[in-house]
């Protein structure tokens, strides 16, 4: 029997691909990369089999950011902070084009999984009232003590945030880690005030490069899966754009508004399993090409990537959100 889709609960699913054997998979004691299935109704790629509840907590609380996987688990690494600062600047370049600040009717922002708080602080710096909830205590503590943010240590779950208490909810590369993304979106709907906005950033598979398919990502999203899931949870999708500019775009940036009348799901086609697998293989080939250029250019590689990314970003901004 085929597994049920994590997003839309359809049983019309097919085996898709096997992710690479990476540091996370090895640390969890697995001998092969995780298997992904494709939902042929909504187009999401999802892991099967999933974590057990025990392994889920063990991974996110004891493995993901531990010495065993190359992280310093005693502090928030400086390299991480530098990367988050660059990512935040890139995100705001797109959010300004989308007119996010002007679209938010109130000033209350709530972020799910803000990590150390860099992105959330960027909202505080723009005059918003900000709060968040973060499961990693070390990162939540950094947000509180270094950035002076109101960030609680804990998991986002039903009842953890007061209904109608936010004008904007931000969920930045977190939805793919959740075992029940549909439930999370429904709960976010209740947290938002009427006509409140949801900003969601999530990995895609349509232009994915290989490391995105790792044991930490239970789901990889297509445009249709995102639009359909938002609509099913009571949101009207306003914009779905490509995210950070890298050699191959690897995330969706979606802006959606809470709606109290069910919106119509956009008719975005779902590729058949063979076409989807071809796209996946093309993504892996692009990643392998990046590795070859990295070996060839050596220290000059980051500058070349930055220049190429800048050109891509300029083209996207010039053509508007897609």
Instruction: Inform me whether the pLDDT recorded for 285 exceeds 70.
Output: yes
Please give the residue that has the higher pLDDT: either 98 or 312: 98
Which one, of 185, 174, 209, 177, lies nearest residue 289 by Cα? Answer: 209
Q: Is the CA virtual torsion 221, 92, 85, 165 positive or negative?
A: negative
Q: Is the CA virtual torsion 155, 158, 160, 165 positive or negative?
A: positive
The answer to whether the pTM exceeds 0.85 is no
**Contact (Cβ atoms closer than 8 angstroms) between residue 322 and residue 316:** yes
State the pLDDT at residue 223: 85
Instruction: Assign 284 to helix, strand or coil.
Output: helix
Instruction: Inform me whether the pLDDT recorded for 237 exceeds 60.
Output: yes
73-86 pLDDT, tens digit per residue, is 677 888 889 989 98
Angle CA(23)–CA(17)–CA(40) in degrees, nearest 5? 135
Instruction: Inform me whether the pLDDT recorded for 300 exceeds 90.
Output: no
Cα distance between residue 311 and residue 314, in whole Å:
5
Most confident of 19-23, 64-68, 78-82, 307-311: 78-82
Mean pLDDT of the chain: 85
Residue-by-residue DSSP string for 128-185: -EEEEEES-HHHHHHHHHTS--EEEES---TTSS-TT-EEEEEEES-GGG-S-HHHHH
State the pLDDT at residue 147: 96
- Residues 6 or more apart from 58 whose CB is under 8 A from it? none
Q: What percent of the chain has pLDDT over 90?
A: 43
170-209 pLDDT, tens digit per residue, is 999 999 999 999 999 999 999 999 999 999 999 888 766 5
Q: How confident is the model at residue 321 (pLDDT cuts 50, 70, 90)?
A: very low
**What domains can be seen in the chain, in order of their start residue?**
77-259+267-319 (3.40.50.150)
State the pLDDT at residue 240: 85
State the pLDDT at residue 314: 62
- For residue 187, give Cα distances in angstroms to 76, 134, 169, 193, 220: 29, 16, 11, 12, 20
Please provide residue 16's backbone torsions phi and psi, each rounded to the nearest 5 degrees: -110, -70
């Amino acid at each position: 029997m085929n597994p049920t889709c994590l997003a839309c609960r359809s049983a019309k699913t097919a085996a898709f691909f096997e992710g690479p054997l990476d540091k996370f998979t090895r640390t969890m004691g697995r001998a092969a990369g995780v298997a992904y299935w494709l939902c042929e109704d909504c187009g999401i790629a999802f892991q099967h089999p999933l974590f057990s509840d025990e392994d889920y907590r063990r991974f996110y609380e004891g493995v993901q950011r531990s010495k065993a996987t190359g992280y310093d688990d005693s502090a928030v690494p400086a390299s991480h902070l530098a990367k988050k600062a660059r990512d935040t600047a890139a995100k705001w370049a797109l959010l300004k084009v989308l007119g996010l600040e002007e679209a938010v009717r109130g000033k209350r922002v709530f972020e799910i999984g803000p990590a150390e708080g860099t992105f959330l602080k960027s909202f505080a710096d723009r005059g918003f009232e900000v709060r968040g909830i973060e499961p990693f205590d070390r990162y939540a503590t950094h947000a509180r003590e270094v950035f002076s943010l109101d960030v609680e240590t804990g998991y986002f779950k039903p009842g953890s945030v007061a209904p109608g208490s936010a004008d904007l909810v931000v969920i930045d590369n977190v939805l793919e880690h959740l075992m029940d993304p549909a439930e999370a979106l429904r709960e976010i709907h209740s947290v938002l005030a009427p006509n409140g906005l949801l900003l969601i950033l999530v990995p895609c598979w349509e232009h994915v490069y290989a490391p995105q398919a790792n044991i930490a990502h239970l789901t990889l999203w297509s445009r249709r899966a995102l639009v359909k899931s938002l609509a099913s949870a009571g949101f009207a999708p306003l914009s779905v754009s490509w995210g950070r500019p890298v050699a191959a775009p690897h995330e969706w940036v979606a802006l959606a508004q809470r709606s109290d009348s069910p919106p119509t799901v956009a008719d975005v086609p779902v590729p058949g399993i063979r076409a989807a697998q071809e796209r996946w293989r093309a993504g892996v080939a692009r990643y392998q090409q990046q590795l070859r250029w990295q070996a060839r250019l050596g220290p000059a590689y980051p500058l070349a990537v930055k220049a190429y990314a800048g050109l891509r970003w300029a083209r996207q901004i010039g053509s508007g959100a897609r």
